[in-house]
Amino acid sequence: MTAKLDEIVANFDLLDEWDDRYRYLIELGKGLEPLPEEAHNEANKVRGCASQVWLDMHAEGGPGPRTTLHFRGDSDAHIVRGLVALALAIYSGRPASEILTTDAFAIYEKLGLAAHLTPQRSNGVRAMIERIKADARAAAG
């Protein structure tokens, strides 16, 4: 079961050391719903990530800005899998219009992740969020 965003933020606040925060991020990734093998395909692959990342999207009740988007994701790297879990906590299960106005970077900044991710990982996070927002734009029509 994917953790809720407010729970993730509260847990990050409890962790003072970055090693502990990285371990928590890895634990979040381990908690992701498994992505079926057939979803590990080229269409779901996120371009611009150094690690392999897949995002699978399912729209409910659309098309239009109120269409709810549900995401599942996976990565071949433990920390990146945790970053996928965080992105899903931010965006999955929300209407397309809300996804388009939600600033995930502000959340990453609040958690201190922006300052502690390598430039490569930051670019990967940016690519993942842009992919989610592109899906939301397409669903919103």
Q: Which of 8, 49, 80, 99 is catalytic?
A: 49
Residues 6+ apart with CB under 8 A from 96: 59, 62, 64, 65, 66, 67, 68, 69, 136, 137, 139, 140
Q: What sign does the dihedral 77-59-123-111 (CA atoms) show? A: negative
Query: 49 an active-site residue?
Result: yes
Active-site annotation, residues: 49
